[in-house]
Amino acid sequence: MTITSDKDRVVIFDTTLRDGEQSPGATMTHSEKLEIAGLLDDMGVDIIEAGFPIASEGDFNAVTEIAKNARNSRICGLARAKAGDIDRCWEAIKHAEKNRIHTFIGTSALHRAIPNLSMDEMADVIHQTVSHARNLCDNVQWSPMDATRTEWDYLCRVIEIAIKAGASTINIPDTVGYTAPMESADLIKRLIDTVPGADDVIFATHCHNDLGMATANSLAAVAGGARQIECTINGLGERAGNTALEEVVMALKVRNDIMPWSTGIDTQKIMHISRRVAAVSGFAVQFNKAIVGKNAFAHESGIHQDGMLKNAETFEIMRPADVGLSGTSLPLGKHSGRAALRDKLEQFGFEVGDNQLKDVFVRFKELADRKKEVFDDDIIALMRSGEDAENDHLQIVSMKVVCGTGGPAESTIEMEIEGKDVSATASGDGPVDATFKAIRELHPNTARLQLYQVQAVTEGTDAQATVSVRLEEDGMIATGESANTDTVVASAKAYVNALNRLIVRRGKVGEGADTREISYKDVT
């Protein structure tokens, strides 16, 4: 059907860089935040919640740069119901051509008890802070945190206060993923029908996935009258995550017959940004994840395969190309040239310069010599493994690992550290443990291994293994990722990649490092 009315348009508000980054271990570097923001802007996201400026100098600087570089999206910053938060937020977002202040306070009885405010005292705070935000910015969003567990009469009261104080968007957060679809739709509809001034603002929905209903609750809220969905790429977020952008967008696209609303998202760019967010956050996408999972368009059953060969629509309700997936293996091998590789990389959304192409091409040839068949995912993994070369204070030169049933594993590793070649040998409980110990001998550190994860990129015994490593040191968290047909080599490179990121962050402490100066978990 043809969409003609503004009421048929759903605003996509992406909070990957704010709520998504609050996932323990998902902290992104400054450059990674800028990259993800650029991809969100390019794919048609209406509003990017770029961060929480008061949280740290790193967050403030990132939001500021994102605001300066935004081309199409409105840039939003989060602020608690405090004048200092709101002022700091405005300082960061004011550089954007289109901006928004998003301020919030917990309104349920449980959340009111934290600052020990009475209902009347909290109502005064809401009026003062929303008014203050509106005096700075003409686009203000207000959220009653834990709205779905807030008393009905009080929720209506504080929303009316926020609207009168100047909020143009009222967000209704299901902060703990407590509600269900029927409740979600009914709550939005009742608020619009009951609260004075509700017709003059946009109602938004912000759902968490604690009971696995975030997408369903968001779509139900739209049916109830909400016209903004808050979401993240891959459903990234603390605890069980947030509403997944790709799920609500594709649900509206595929089932437009029963959900006659549209978004401005270029869906063919979904897979690329999904992979980038997974890479920079260190949170791999589960294989059976809707829309972007590795198996989302895979068919193993004989009946399914037969149907697919005869007519893809028998078992696919959308085309892989609709979300930017080629759906085929990459017809490249050791005899392929640079032009073919560049063309394929551009199809995946990677823009590479001549020098970068030269480096990728060398590694591609090395991979093609080791594998009989090179797949799309192999090439994507290859791109990821070479992304942080400019920050390589530590580099692996060579490795030799001995392991088996006759005794402990032993790893000898040669590295280049700040231009000097050094080597060490260590034994451990398996080849990876021995390798990590050898690296620590060469580069002593107190970093704690929070995550070690191995995934096969493709099928077969010659498949590349993608290894993700997450390290924590002095409150700073860094992730590293690498891919190789040798799992131990991939593990070593991922570990060194994470160490390199920690080195960079240590060097930036005091001048914009990604450290957390205040706690802001569980906001909205």
Domain boundaries, the chain: 8-281, 297-324, 390-508
What is d(CA 21, CA 238) in angstroms, rounded to the nearest whole number? 8
Q: pLDDT, tens digit, for every residue of 59-89?
A: 999 999 999 999 999 999 999 999 999 999 9
pTM, to two decimals: 0.77
Would you call 462 helix, strand, or coil by DSSP? coil
pLDDT at position 507 is 66
Backbone angles phi, psi at 52, to 5 degrees: -120, 85
Sheet with 394-402, side-by-side order of all strands = 394-402, 409-417, 420-428
Q: Is 393 annotated as a binding residue?
A: no
- Given a contact cutoff of 8 angstroms between Cβ atoms, the answer to whether 511 and 35 are in contact is no
- Average pLDDT, 10 consecutive residues per value, the chain (524 residues): 62 96 80 95 98 94 97 98 98 97 97 94 98 98 97 98 98 96 98 97 98 98 98 95 97 96 96 91 87 73 54 72 69 72 77 82 80 71 62 85 86 90 93 94 92 80 82 84 88 91 66 40 42
Q: What is the DSSP string of 120-185?
A: HHHHHHHHHHHHHHHHH-S-EEEEEETGGGS-HHHHHHHHHHHHHHT-SEEEEEETTS---HHHHH
Q: For the segment 207-245, what is each residue's pLDDT rounded down to a tens digit?
A: 999 999 999 999 999 999 999 999 999 999 989 999 999
Q: How far apart are CA 352 and CA 283, in angstroms?
A: 25
Give Cβ neighbours of residue 144 (< 8 Å, ≥ 6 apart): 104, 105, 106, 107, 150, 155, 158, 159, 162, 172, 173
Residue 33 C-beta-side C-alpha neighbours within 13 Å: 29
Kindly report the CATH class assigned to 390-508: alpha beta
- Class for domain 8-281, per CATH? alpha beta
Is 19 known to sit in a ligand binding site?
Answer: yes
Q: What is the DSSP string of 313-366?
A: GGT-SS-GGGGT---S---B-TT--HHHHHHHHHHTT----HHHHHHHHHHHHH
- 206 annotated to a ligand binding site: yes
Distance CA 342, CA 430 (A): 39
* 32 vs 40: CA distance, rounded Å: 12
Q: Is 443 annotated as a binding residue?
A: no
Looking only at the bridges linking them, the beta strands covering 11-14 and 47-51 are parallel
- 208 is written with which tokens? 């968490």
Burial of 257 (0-12, 13-18, 19+ CB in 10 A): exposed
